[in-house]
Amino acid sequence: MIVTIDGPAGSGKSTAARGLAARLGFDYLDTGAMFRAVALALLNRGIDPANHVAVEAVLDELLLDMPPGRVVLDGRDVTAAIRAAAVAQTASKVAVVPVVRRFLAAEQRRIAEGRDIVCEGRDQGTAVFPDAACKFFVTADPRARAARRFRELLDKGESVTLEEVLASQHERDTRDTEREDAPLRAAADAVVIDTTDLSADDVVARLEEIVRRCATARL
């Protein structure tokens, strides 16, 4: 059974997806991490994401492995490296390139094949798994999202201001929602959850209840 969770940056969807998967005993796939890994591969090679020919050549040679909780790129564990702010910005540029989206969508379908899995990203319920059993769109007020990201970055020792985080979030949101190929939006049959005033535990509990109802309805 496939459960999809889509939503903008900082909406709390990753925490929710991880928590939900743990509660259900499902696998978990962070598809944003896959875009970040491609971004890191381009940064490492000094390739501009706008150069689609060069990007396609990198996809042909890159080795991306997604073992549970980790991201391995060309044999190197890049789980921590892909979280840098520069990688996030490049990832959202990489995400507008159709050949990258096609490549990663095929990988995501291959990974999910025959599994009980929670797939989290921007286009999982709309483009990659349109027939998923249960779909969510998790969102929150932009200021609340930026404040969460800001706290995370401060905890990691990065020196940023809330206004900078808000501006970079706005830039990424605009690119994610306005791109032509698989833009960020809620699937028509997704349950929309606004997490602005909910705790992480409340969000997981709400998702779990809906998935269990959805699974029972399918029997």
Residues contributing to the site for ligand DC (CB under 6 A): 9, 31-33, 35-36, 88, 91-92, 95, 121-124, 172, 176
The nearer residue to ligand DC, 173 or 215, going by C-beta atoms, is 173
**Cβ neighbours of residue 27 closer than 8 Å, sequence gap 6 or more:** 21, 68, 115, 116, 117, 118
64-65 and 72-73 beta bridge pairing: antiparallel
* Rounded least distance, CB 110 to ligand DC, Å: 15
Whichever of 119 and 207 has its CB closer to ligand DC, that residue is 119
Q: How far is the CB of 148 from ligand DC (least distance, A)?
A: 12
DSSP annotation of 190 reads P
Closer residue to ligand DC in complex, CB, 15/208: 15
Q: Which pair of tokens denotes residue 57?
A: 């050549």
Phi and psi at 75, nearest 5°, equal 85, 0
Q: Cβ closer to ligand DC: 31 or 139?
A: 31
Which residues face 73 on adjacent strands?
Answer: 64, 76
Whole-number minimum distance, CB 137 to ligand DC, in Å?
13
We find the least distance from the C-beta atom of residue 219 to ligand DC, in angstroms, to be: 29
Question: DSSP code of 99?
Answer: H
